[in-house]
Chains A and B, each alone.
Chain A
């Protein structure tokens, strides 16, 4: 292997220092032993992801699913998108993990160990939809800067933890509190220890919801490292960046939190609509809160060919941020006619809802199956791209698949 050869020629010491890493007693390492750091990394193996997942970026790690991979009612880790702003932190063990609650508006600042959190407060589980604010960014014109997510930066896993409000109330919240800001253990890309890759948060009203939790489990197991082990904020229905990973400090703020990626154009859209490509002043950008209504066809995979005699089974999920989904319809004639799908109720608030239908096709040929969800406030998904915004957030345009009837 070329990598091995390189190690031999340069010598381990030289190579390690080139990585900015020193191994004490490197001379004592067994001959021919290649430290883990230098072994080939297969990201799918590293993060226990399915081979069909799409890697958008290796530094920082960003990975998304394809629509048909998200067919499970509860998203397993192998199909869950990874969105990182910085480098994944080193976490050897959760036994000494601590969470500090501080800020201008905390009555008594306290620090909890993970064990204290687990024993002191009631444990709850919810299925919660987490969608990246930039999911669908790749479709905007003019193009928006950032990871070019298509449709797969969304998941709905079962998260287990304690209610954030129970922990905040245990410390006491002053009357002037307006926002919660999180701080975490991830590392800035520049390795500058004074910089945080991301430190976002949520208004107090979201923080105090029943379903906003400090989670220590995902789908019944320890949270995978890439998804925030050992402690993650989970605030379903809002841009997933609100659900901070590797949380070690929460600040109860008397101002809108001003951490990294709270300001400028990050996770913000123009307060009033703008023309595509228009420059927007910073003060005219508003923070995204609840995500818009959206749906995804997860079966069949796009590209299916089947015979006239067959009724096509179609299914998927729909979600609507803070709201619920009232209806999902499908069209096989580019929106000329719409027919309703069967829609299940959410298992709990902020979980996605499952829809299904069977479609008969009138004659042979090429079709597109389009799905359109309507939220409880009667807002529907647009068939075209929604309002352009500088960073390409909130694309909730209808999802569609191509099929051929033969």
Chain B
């Protein structure tokens, strides 16, 4: 009779412990995964404090989430060009129409970029207009120097 009673009490307790155990195992197993995603999270946004309620907000002609310039074709570029890589790799490059076109072709041939259809012209025009090559010559002068007083040691 006593044994029966304790069984009744403990059965739900064991069940609860078992569930807790499973949750714990799942949590531990997903721990490293979460930590990992963390390393690659928010990585397609230039500014980690952009407005999440308005992810496509424009300020001073700049698309805040990516840093791209707000001109014709912006969202076509954002939607097609920033899901695999960040916009930073676009903005630090300077290419002619031909150069951007060959980069797109390379991404299609080797990096799983999809067929852009009629968007391709829009994208190439946007890129070549906003990020065209500039002449640098054989060696540029030093610029953007932050002058400071060298402390005596």
Chain A residues in contact with chain B, CB under 8 A? 2-3, 5-6, 9, 19, 21, 23-25, 28, 35-42, 46, 55-61, 87-93, 139-143, 145-148, 188-190, 192, 195, 225-226, 260, 264, 300-306, 310, 312-313, 368, 383-385, 397, 400-402, 404
- If A9-B53, A57-B88, A143-B95 are given as contacts, then 7 extra A-B residue pairs at C-beta distance below 8 Å, sorted by A number, are A5-B52, A36-B34, A40-B42, A42-B48, A264-B110, A304-B148, A305-B148
- Which chain B residues lie closer than 8 Å to A23 at the CB level? 30
Cα-based distance from A148 to B103 in the complex (angstroms): 15
Bound: A38/B52 CA distance, A: 12
Chain A residues near B93: list those with CB within 8 A: 143, 145-146, 148
| Chain A-chain B contacts (Cβ-Cβ < 8 Å), number | 157
Interface residue from A6, A40, A61, A404 paired with B48 (Cβ < 8 Å): A40
Q: Which residues of B contact A402 (CB under 8 A)?
A: 142, 145
Identity of the chain B residue whose Cβ is nearest the Cβ of A276 in the assembled complex: B138
Give the residues in chain B near A300, CB-CB below 8 Å.
150
Which residues in chain B, 1-51, are within 8 Å of chain A measured between CB atoms?
A: 23, 26, 30-46, 48-49, 51
Q: Please name all residues of chain B whose beta carbon is closer than 8 Å to the beta carbon of A302 when the two chains form the complex.
A: 142, 145
For residue B84, which residue of chain A has the nearest CB?
A189
| 21 interchain pairs, CB-CB under 8 A | A2-B49, A2-B51, A3-B52, A24-B26, A37-B37, A40-B42, A41-B41, A41-B43, A46-B39, A57-B89, A58-B45, A61-B40, A141-B137, A145-B103, A225-B39, A264-B110, A303-B148, A313-B153, A385-B138, A401-B142, A402-B145
Q: Which residue of chain B has its CB nearest to the CB of A40?
A: B48
B61 lies within 8 A of chain A by Cβ: no
Closest to B33 in A: A90
Asked whether, in the complex, the Cβ of A190 is within 8 Å of the Cβ of B112, the reply is: yes
With A24-B26, A41-B38, A402-B142 as known contacts, state yes or no: A143 contacts B86, CB within 8 Å. no
Binary contact readout B129-153 vs A (1 if CB under 8 angstroms, 0 otherwise): 0000111111110100111111011
With known contacts A24-B30, A28-B23, A305-B150, A59–B142 Cβ distance under 8 A: no
Asked whether A90 lies within 8 Å of B32 as measured between CB atoms, the reply is yes
Contacts of B37 in A (CB 8 A): 19, 21, 36-37
User: What separation, in Å, do the CA atoms of A179 and B93 have in the docked complex?
Assistant: 33
Please give the distance in Å from B82's CB to the nearest CB on chain A.
8
A92 proximity list for chain B (CB < 8 A): 31-33
Known: A145-B93, A192-B112, A301-B148. A2 touches B53 (CB 8 A): yes
Number of interface residues of B (CB under 8 A): 56
- The complex places the Cα of A145 from the Cα of B102 at a distance, in Å, of 10
Q: Which of A61, A139, A188, A384 contacts B43 (CB 8 A)?
A: A61
Known contacts A87-B40, A91-B32, A190-B84; is-contact A40 B49 (Cβ 8 Å): yes
Q: Is the CB of B36 within 8 A of A88?
A: yes
Choose from A56, A89, A226 the contact partner of B92 (Cβ within 8 Å): A56
Q: Tell which of A36, A142, A400 touches B133, judged by Cβ atoms closer than 8 Å.
A: A142
A88 in contact with B150 given A59-B44, A190-B112 (CB within 8 Å) = no
Q: Does B73 contact A (CB under 8 A)?
A: no
Contact partners of A2 in chain B: CB under 8 A: 49, 51-53
> Within B57-108, which residues are at the interface with A (CB < 8 Å)?
84-86, 88-89, 92-95, 99, 103, 106
**Cβ–Cβ contact A6 & B52, under 8 A:** yes
Residue of A nearest to B132 (CB): A143
A228 to B152, CA, bound (A): 40
Q: How far is the CB of A316 from chain B (nearest CB, A)?
A: 16
* Min CB–CB distance B151 → chain A (angstroms): 9
Asked if A397 and B139 sit within 8 Å, CB to CB, the answer is yes
Instruction: Kindly list chain A residues whose C-beta atoms are within 8 Å of the C-beta of B103.
Output: 145
Task: Give min CB distance, B141 to chain A, whole Å.
Answer: 9
Residues B40 and A59 in contact, CB atoms below 8 Å apart: yes
A36→B148 contact, CB < 8 A = no
B36 pairs with A306, CB closer than 8 A = no
Known: A2-B51, A190-B112, A310-B152. Is A60-B138 also a contact (CB below 8 A)?
A: no
Measured in the bound complex, the distance between the Cα atoms of B31 and A24 in whole Å is: 12
Which of A90, A195, A310 touches B112 (beta carbons < 8 Å)?
A195
Known: A6-B52, A139-B136, A143-B94. A88 touches B30 (CB 8 A): no
- Closest A residue to B106 by beta carbon equals A264
Q: Contact at A36–B35, with CB atoms within 8 Å?
A: yes
Residues of A within 8 A of B140 (CB): 139
Q: Is the CB of B146 within 8 A of A303?
A: yes
**A25 B23 Cβ-Cβ under 8 A:** yes
Contact partner of B150 (CB less than 8 A), chosen from A192, A304, A383, is A304
Q: Report chain B residues within 8 Å CB of A140.
A: 136
